[in-house]
């Protein structure tokens, strides 16, 4: 199994451009998450989803949008990129239940110039 | 408001010098506390899940414990390969992370 796959691994955007970070998982997990991690910092939750068609905001949702049309995919959309969105983005998934661990992708390193 | 706080922010140990990392939390209805290891440039890697106060889990040189307000990650006789950032997280539907402890083990 591939687990959680994120694409692209690296991207440079110009201010004002838009892009979609892709995340797909093959473990049939209900819950999926998007985090950002700034240098030397912990993970901040951007958005999460508890199942197809259901999404909700996390701690830092401004400037981002998500959709969850299938169980497998949870893309993160950046509209009008800003330098403050320069970060490493991680997608994660976990099975239903409060005590199940999350599995992470390898991250997307995004630079906005 | 749910919160997770880790201390210290950074820790430097000599090889073989045991120590503990702390994760304190305020969560209504804790359902699980998780410890992860993160190496530079990589995603977090799962270590332990703890569910209830008094529970302990061990893996090689690492031992995690849980009370009603905090968790400790004890590192016994660490080696340089244990150098990493250690993250704790708590959960309901959301999955909240602390800011992590950056551990450096010096040979």
pLDDT at A72 over 90: yes
Left (φ > 0), alpha (ψ -120 to 50) or beta: where does A81 sit? beta
Q: Is residue A82 predicted with pLDDT exceeding 90?
A: yes
Residue B91: closest CA among A44, A98, A92: A98
In our burial notation (b when 16+ CB lie closer than 10 A, e otherwise), range A81-93 reads beeebbbbbbbbb
Judge: A101–B44 Cβ closer than 8 Å, yes or no: no
Q: Of chain B residues 32-91, which have a CB less than 8 A from chain A?
A: 32, 34, 41-46, 49, 51, 87, 89, 91
Residue B31 has pLDDT above 90, yes or no: no
What's the mean per-residue pLDDT of chain A?
A: 94
Q: Mean pLDDT over residues B36-44, rounded?
A: 93
Tokens linked to A23: 């995340």
How does residue A24 score in pLDDT terms, banded at 50, 70 and 90?
very high
Instruction: Label residue A26 by pLDDT band (50, 70, 90).
Output: very high
Contacts of B72 (CB under 8 A, 6+ apart): B20, B21, B22, B23, B64, B65
In the numeric block, which tokens belong to residue A24?
Answer: 């797909």
User: What percentage of chain A reaches a pLDDT higher than 90?
Assistant: 86
Kindly list the residues from chain B whose CB atom is less than 8 angstroms away from the CB atom of residue A97.
31
pLDDT over 70 at B18, yes or no: yes
CA atoms within 13 A on the CB side of A60: 15
In angstroms, the CA B88 to CA B103 distance is: 14
Instruction: Tell me what percent of the residues of chain A surpass a pLDDT of 70.
Output: 98
DSSP state, A73? B
Residue B33: pLDDT band with limits 50, 70, 90:
very high
Which residues does chain B have within 8 Å of residue A44's beta carbon, measured at their own beta carbons?
Answer: 97
* Residue that is written with structure tokens 């969560």 in the block: B27
pLDDT of residue B91: 82
């Amino acid at each position: 199994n591939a687990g959680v796959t994120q694409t692209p691994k690296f991207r440079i955007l110009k201010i004002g451009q838009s892009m979609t970070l892709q995340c797909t998982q093959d473990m049939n997990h209900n819950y999926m998450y998007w985090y950002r991690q700034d240098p030397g910092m912990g993970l901040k939750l951007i958005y999460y989803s508890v199942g197809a068609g259901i999404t909700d905001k996390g701690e830092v949702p401004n400037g981002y949008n998500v959709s969850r049309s299938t169980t497998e995919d949870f893309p993160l959309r950046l509209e009008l990129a800003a330098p403050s969105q320069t970060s490493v983005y991680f997608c994660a998934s976990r099975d239903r239940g409060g005590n199940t661990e999350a599995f992470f992708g390898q991250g997307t390193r995004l630079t906005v110039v | 408001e749910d919160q997770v706080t880790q201390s210290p922010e950074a820790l430097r140990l000599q090889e073989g010098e045991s120590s503990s990392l702390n994760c304190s939390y305020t969560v209504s209805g804790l359902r699980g506390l998780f410890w992860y290891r993160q190496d530079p440039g990589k995603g977090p890697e799962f270590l332990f899940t703890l569910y209830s106060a008094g529970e302990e889990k061990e893996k090689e040189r690492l031992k995690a414990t849980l009370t009603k307000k905090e968790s400790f990650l004890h590192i016994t006789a660490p080696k340089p390969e244990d150098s990493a950032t250690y993250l704790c997280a708590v959960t309901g539907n959301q999955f909240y992370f602390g800011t992590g402890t950056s551990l450096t083990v010096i040979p």
